[in-house]
Amino acid sequence: MRGVEPLYNPHGVEERWQTAWEAEGLYGAEPGTGHEPFVVAHPPPNVTGALHTGHALQIALADALVRWHRMRGFEVAFLTGYDHAGISTQNAVEKHLAAEGKTRQELGRERFVDLVWEWLNTYGRTIMSQFRRMGASMDYRRERFTMDDAYIRAVMRFFVHLHRKGWIYRANRIINWCPFHETALSDLELVHEEVDDALAYVRYPFADNSGGAKDGVTIATARPATILGDVAVAVHPDDERWREAVGREVVVPFVERVVPVVADERVDMEFGTGALKVTPAHDPLDFEIGRAHQLAEPSVIGPDGRMSQEAGELAGFTQEEAEERILTWIRKHGQLEQREAYRHAIALCERCKSRIEPRISLQWWCSMSELKQPALEGLWAGRVRYHPDSQHRFAIESLESAPDWNISRQIWWGHQLPVWECPDGHEMVEETEPEACATCGSAELVRSEDVLDTWFSSALWPFAILGWPAETPELRAWYPGTLNTTAREIIRLWENRMIFSGLELVGEVPFAQVIIHATVLAPDGRRMSKSLGTGLDPLELIDEHGADAVRYGLLRISSTQDVRFSYGAVEEGRKLANKLWNASRLLLQAGQGNRDEVGLRPRTVEERWILARLDGVRAAVEADLGSFDFAHVAQALYRLTFDDFCDWYLESIKPRLYESDEDARATALGALERLLKLLHPLMPHVTEEIWTNLPERESRLIVAPWPEPDTAYADAEGALERVQDAAAIFRRSGVLVRLAEDERRIFDAVVKPDRVAANGNAAAEIDRLRKEVERAEKMLANERFVENAAPDVVEAEREKLAKYRRELDALSN
């Protein structure tokens, strides 16, 4: 570091270390080494994905733990790969085709799938280079893909296994349907958007007309086009307004179908008139009510979102065209009582933004009643623990109420169902294509065109990437894994499914801990979105500040609650890297011409104090990393570096360094060595760069041993407390406090009072401190504050009170 620039420039440094660590095999893991394993099967990004803020936070959290455990001697397997991301990838390729004026239908299925592979080879799999830029120390040699041959085998085995247990079946149920892609979608593939609509109040006259022309039941609907599919009107059994209507019949407008009025507790009495038109084929609640009352299920909206053949004379019309004609009929017959503005949320396809159609469709389902039980028992017993506790409770509740799982999709890219049918309709489910029908012997077999839900295959991730169903050394050594990090929105879609799949297929939970990290919002509190202009590109932040600063900033703001992104936190990380760099330059340059030596030979109070502080922060960092409290780790290391090491310790020993005191320099380098080890999991690149310039290096910092507990200097941890209190008083008021000889030496070296024209008023400062003590004591005596305020806020107030009392005592004496 001799002769280098005074400001640390991460560019070039970070890229060099990312290449070196990987080339030297320091990211690699091998089964059977005898070391205790620490295994993280990192959530696989989409094969077409790019690094976003959620990925960056996830990596910062996981890699901090990974690097910490690697330094502690664990056999770390940080495993990675890609998810084929069914509809997301297909949508990307279809956009590519559309730009050329083509469609997948024109190509046909086989050619389209070939094109997806070609497209991925050209444009896909780029995100791993972006993971590397974040400093993710993954074993990239073991990269897996959910469409690899071995992985496909695992997926087919899973399907056949569940089918043979009787847990997979085919049935008509209501699902989320995208009319553009013409496929079922999972809840995670939807986005919700507030729209302005109109609520039409329509009277359904009684069929017997016994109450006169104006008599009947009035309903409110925002989708008049679905009136054609109405098979009943439902009211709540406790709703006095409609009690006499229950059991009677009404006439559906336009189609003039006679339908019953039924009572059902699922009806919301507060919405509209309290009466609900029941359209089982096009609304999830209506579907439940219809099944409960054994009602018909006419489907009047087709797969393309237009009116179907069951819509009669309106078949082929768009829903808007049908709605116009239906409302015209209703007005003409005097049955439209009013229309009012109505703002509500609708579901859209995440990719194409088409409005989702709840639609009854013949799909493949996985029964959850038995499959989920072992996972629930594991969660109840704490064999898997979600953090924070609120998410553990949510994981249990969501699994307890989990409905049967729609596992089929009507797209072309993905794992095609291992289901074959002969011309006579006999169905076979096998891992590979049978030679002939097992029932009739026909060799004319046609495979199901459906593919599996992406979450079906990713549920196998923690063990399929280790070679399951083969009994591999990796599977024996690294399953079950250690932990997983993810966002809360996929607890039920992915995390819980990995747990029940692992228990069913391998007999053990896939990991013991699940860290549910915050969602990072835009600085103004809105969700991050490219379309809203609120998205942040982590790569641009890395280009500007470096990966270490971005990692630090994300850890600094990490929380169990959603957080606003802070440029200030990233800037704080950049300043920390520069401060560390300059402190290291000072130590290394101060000893030029002397023997390079690292060792602990403390002779002064500040040397014993910094060694005590390093060990105290080590213990705090270990506790906080162990409880996944990353923000406190970042905060503690920042204060240790900026305040303790640089501003107090180095300033105190500068005179000795300039006098070429070899003991002072060797001790300082030894202290710096410990500081670098503590910082490495958060800021790996700058610490490794400095470490390499220290004398007597036997290994890279990435695999250097984590500092052992050292209580030899524990008695000195509070040795500078009086000096620091005196400094705070002087900087605030100009009042000098009487100090002992050693304390005065340190005070003068750090505070440099001779450079400040100060004439403080001790009496005024004592009066101010007494008022602060009184205020803090009163606040802490308030039980409501102590019980209801955040623990950090209460603890900070206690620390301030202790500090005010010490300062008051110092001035009073």
* pLDDT tens for each residue of 178-201: 998 899 988 878 889 999 999 999
Q: Note the pLDDT tens digit of each residue in 573-612.
A: 999 999 999 999 999 887 665 556 788 899 999 999 999 9
From the list 152, 135, 121, the residue with the least C-alpha distance to 48 is: 121
From the list 663, 688, 681, the residue with the least C-alpha distance to 604 is: 663
Q: What is the mean pLDDT of residues 33-52?
A: 93
Q: What is residue 811's predicted lDDT score, i.e. its pLDDT?
A: 74
Give the DSSP H or E segment for 232: strand 232-235
pLDDT band at 761 (very low <50, low <70, confident <90, very high): confident
Q: Write phi, then psi, for 370 (nearest 5 degrees).
A: -95, -35
From the list 570, 578, 522, 579, the residue with the least C-alpha distance to 547 is: 570
Are 275 and 286 contacting, i.e. CB atoms less than 8 angstroms apart?
no
Instruction: For residues 699 and 405, give the distance between their C-alpha atoms in angstroms, rounded to a whole number.
Output: 51
pLDDT band at 212 (very low <50, low <70, confident <90, very high): very low
pLDDT band at 639 (very low <50, low <70, confident <90, very high): very high
Q: What is the mean pLDDT of residues 153-160?
A: 98
Q: What is residue 221's predicted lDDT score, i.e. its pLDDT?
A: 96
Alpha carbon of residue 88 to chain centroid? 18
The number of helices, as runs of H, and strands, as runs of E, in the chain is: 28, 25
DSSP label of 603:
-
pLDDT band at 213 (very low <50, low <70, confident <90, very high): very low
pLDDT band at 809 (very low <50, low <70, confident <90, very high): confident
Q: Which of 542-551, 642-651, 662-671, 729-738 has the lowest mean pLDDT?
A: 729-738
From the list 304, 320, 405, 309, the residue with the least C-alpha distance to 352 is: 304
For 130, the token pair is 């972006």
Instruction: For residues 737 and 769, give the distance between their C-alpha atoms in angstroms, rounded to a whole number.
Output: 14
Q: What is residue 530's predicted lDDT score, i.e. its pLDDT?
A: 65
Instruction: For residues 153 and 149, give the distance between their C-alpha atoms in angstroms, rounded to a whole number.
Output: 6
Instruction: For residues 627 and 623, give the distance between their C-alpha atoms in angstroms, rounded to a whole number.
Output: 6
Paired sense of beta strands 563-564 and 520-521, if any: parallel
Instruction: For residues 409 and 364, give the distance between their C-alpha atoms in angstroms, rounded to a whole number.
Output: 9
For 813, the token pair is 């004496």
SS3 351: coil
SS3 sequence of 500-515: HHHHHHCCCCCCCEEE
Q: What is the model's pTM? A: 0.88
Residue 790 has pLDDT above 90, yes or no: no
Q: Which of 33-42, 116-125, 232-241, 545-554 has the lowest mean pLDDT?
A: 116-125
Give the DSSP H or E segment for 261: strand 257-263
pLDDT band at 559 (very low <50, low <70, confident <90, very high): confident
Give the contacts of 333 (CB within 8 A, at least 6 positions apart).
Answer: 253
Instruction: For residues 242 and 216, give the distance between their C-alpha atoms in angstroms, rounded to a whole number.
Output: 10
Instruction: For residues 70 and 68, give the distance between their C-alpha atoms in angstroms, rounded to a whole number.
Output: 5
Instruction: For residues 568 and 563, give the distance between their C-alpha atoms in angstroms, rounded to a whole number.
Output: 13
Instruction: For residues 644 and 105, give the distance between their C-alpha atoms in angstroms, rounded to a whole number.
Output: 67
Are 219 and 201 contacting, i.e. CB atoms less than 8 angstroms apart?
yes
Are 733 and 760 contacting, i.e. CB atoms less than 8 angstroms apart?
yes
Give the contacts of 796 (CB within 8 A, at least 6 positions apart).
Answer: none
Residue 469 preceded by cis peptide, ω within 30: yes
Instruction: For residues 135 and 395, give the distance between their C-alpha atoms in angstroms, rounded to a whole number.
Output: 31
SS3 300: coil
Residue 753 preceded by cis peptide, ω within 30: no
Are 522 and 565 contacting, i.e. CB atoms less than 8 angstroms apart?
yes
Identify the bridge partners of residue 347 per DSSP, sorted by sequence position. 192
Paired sense of beta strands 520-521 and 405-406, if any: unpaired
Q: Note the pLDDT tens digit of each residue in 258-317.
A: 999 999 999 999 999 999 999 999 999 999 999 999 999 999 999 999 999 999 999 999
Q: Note the pLDDT tens digit of each residue in 466-487.
A: 999 999 999 999 999 999 999 8
Q: What is the mean pLDDT of residues 36-62?
A: 94
DSSP calls for 754-773: GGS-----HHHHHHHHHHHH
pLDDT, greater one: 516 or 518: 516
E strand residue ranges, 104-215: 144-145, 168-178, 183-185, 190-205
Instruction: For residues 334 and 771, give the distance between their C-alpha atoms in angstroms, rounded to a whole number.
Output: 76
Residue 328 has pLDDT above 70, yes or no: yes
Instruction: For residues 215 and 225, give the distance between their C-alpha atoms in angstroms, rounded to a whole number.
Output: 23
How many angstroms separate the first and last alpha carbons of the chain?
Answer: 47
